A and B are shown apart, each in its own frame.
Chain A
Amino acid sequence: MSEFDLAKTSPNGIYMDYCQKDQLAFQRAPSGKAVFYPRIVEPKTGEELRWELSQGLGTVYSTTVIYLRDEKPYNVALIDIDEGYRMMSRVEGIDPEHVRIGMRVQVQMATFDDGKKYPIFFPVNEVV
């Protein structure tokens, strides 16, 4: 197997490059198992991983609304992506308190304060 060349690129670097191109990427093991977050080898087996693009559809696995002083309440959620992995993100486009476990959501890249694009999710029927 070819070793991941960390002198040239990193798992997070590749992932973020995809995000900047409005693509949600993850890794797939030879067994077909989806792996997230991106790594240099598959956990448990050490097998080589290849990149794939997700369709960006998923289901809310759990959700919370965060109430900080001097900040509007906002959502943080764990999303089970249809390709078979889970990630943390936010569900936007609706009142954060209306986000429900089991809700179908679709990805959209959003530019964060650091100027980079990150994946966030919207309820399936409300993608803008």
Chain B
Amino acid sequence: MKPFTYMRPTDGTEALSLAAMSKQARFLGGGTNLVDLMRQHVETPDELVDVTRLRGNIKETTSGGLLIGAAVRNSTLAAHPHVRQNFPVLSRALLSGASAQIRNMATVGGNIMQRTRCSYFYDVTGARCNKRNPGVGCDAIGGFTRYHAVLGASEHCVATHPSDMCVALAALDATVHVAGPDGDRSVPITEFHVLPGDHPEVETVLRSGELITAVEIPASTMAARSEYRKVRDRSSYAFALVSVAGAIEIAQGTIADVRIALGGVAAKPWRAARAEEFLRGKEVSHEQFLDAAESELAAARPLEGNRFKIELAKRTIAAVLGDLARDAA
């Protein structure tokens, strides 16, 4: 690791002012991603601002939603009774991620900010990567792409966002609250991460010196019946090949409303808006679910190593919606 100075503020204002001291400052949460990236020399901050002692709690909002402090640990959020009862997809997504130890350390803010696990991205000395060195090329393309994107990728970058939590948040229409030197603002989670396009080195809309302070989830009766299915190579402690967060509201055998978000397929949690649009008002059936998935994945561009993801995503979407529809019955 490159030498750095370590600071631990006790409140958000102090955190922001410390981070403003250097362009190379990074906020440190649980460290489960950042410390690893620093040890691999992917990230080389000269200043670490530890935000884990900032107040982090989970509050029910007046409208029945949830306001979650960014410093809240993944395990705490997953085990929270209100989350388990009213937003089960979020709890399921968190519980499927990483390991218990990592969930105990990782913060909600850090989970949102985590970076791709592409092995070419990680290979600082031996692989070309447009995220690390814009313009140098992408060695993942033409290489091992099992964990890489089929949606929203570009010729410069095919990496995926590895978070499970974010997929659930995307399905739940969550909002990310941010504080910064220029004031506070809020961004829908679906707009927080950006697709690579011509600038894969830009991963989120977060500006220099800004800090995530909270995530807010609106109240939703539909969310009480929601599910997360993660498909992976081994039964636990592995990243998603494809994951699906789903919620459905059925009235008289037709789909009144639906939410579908996909993980493992893009550089951001993928809100399957096309599939949702397709399904609203349709009759509940396995064929409709498959057709909806088909419409969403029509835009998919597979790579040599991840062709299977398209079929896998369709099947998993249909299976998740089918499970939810059965439970609703």
Q: Do A and B come from one complex?
A: no
Instruction: Name B's A-contacting residues (CB within 8 A).
Output: none
* Residues in chain A within 8 A of chain B (CB atoms): none
